[in-house]
Amino acid sequence: MPNLLAGKVALVTGAARGIGAAIAKRLAVDGALVALTFSASPDQAHAVVGSIEGSGGKALAIQADAANAESTRAAVALTVKTFGALDILVNNAGIVAVAPIDQFPYEDFEKMIAINIKGMFVATQEAVRHMRDGGRIIHIGSCNSDRVPFQGGSVYALTKAAVVGFTRALARDLGHRAITVNNVQPGPTDTDMNPAQGPSAAGTVQHVALRRYAKPQEVANFVAYLAGPEASFITGASLLVDGGYAA
């Protein structure tokens, strides 16, 4: 059903590549005006914009470090200034580091907290100040908040479990404005950061019931559904798109 998001304005954080890029493109296909942030991949971000505009959509790439509060707030403000409104926020920006807890570098811990939790909070807080009633907030969490069948993932799981609690409580806070809040939890997905042919893929795929990695587009499809009018009664939910990884 084309143009379900016609007239809507979306901001997708960390969308220069991978899942974020797929989400930005899919929201544009559905008719949304799309702003996307990037930190250190300008060529890839502008390629996403070019792809969207080449298909007749409108998009804007904004350089913003998710770990920097002022940069994130400025990205929200520029989105609203450029497109005149904000209806959809997709908190996709995130990083992962894996190591045994007794060897985990404190600097990596601080960076994951800064991006995976603080960055999500700042983007959400600022977006809510501008978002029209009936809007959508969609966090990109991880199936590892439910299941971690490998060693060294405790800190990453900590950050993604925080997203689950934030989603539930925020849905209560914003329900009176008909703003829904949901958490999409992908399983192993074929991206530059976690390629389906990477060194750990053979072991990882054994935990997936469908015995394969997801394509970024498969995650984006579900995000688009949650962003659309047909998902208006879904809120406060953490929803797996993991091929049975957590089954």
So which residues are the catalytic ones? 156
Q: Which residue shows structure tokens 């958490």?
A: 183
Question: Within its chain, how far is the Cα of 58 from the centroid?
Answer: 20
Q: Is the dihedral of CA 12, 193, 245, 110 positive or negative?
A: negative
Beta bridge partners of 9: 33
Beta bridge partners of 237: 182
β-pair type (136-140, 33-38): unpaired
Encoded tokens for 213: 């990695």
User: Cα angle vertex 74, ends 15, 61, to 5°?
Assistant: 30
* In contact, 105 and 99? CB cutoff 8 Å: yes
B/e letters for 6-39, b = 16+ CB within 10 Å, e = fewer, are eebbbbbbbbbbbbbbbbbbbbbbbbbbbbbbbb
Helix, strand, coil percent values for the chain (each to nearest 5):
45, 15, 40
SS3 214: strand
* In contact, 59 and 29? CB cutoff 8 Å: no
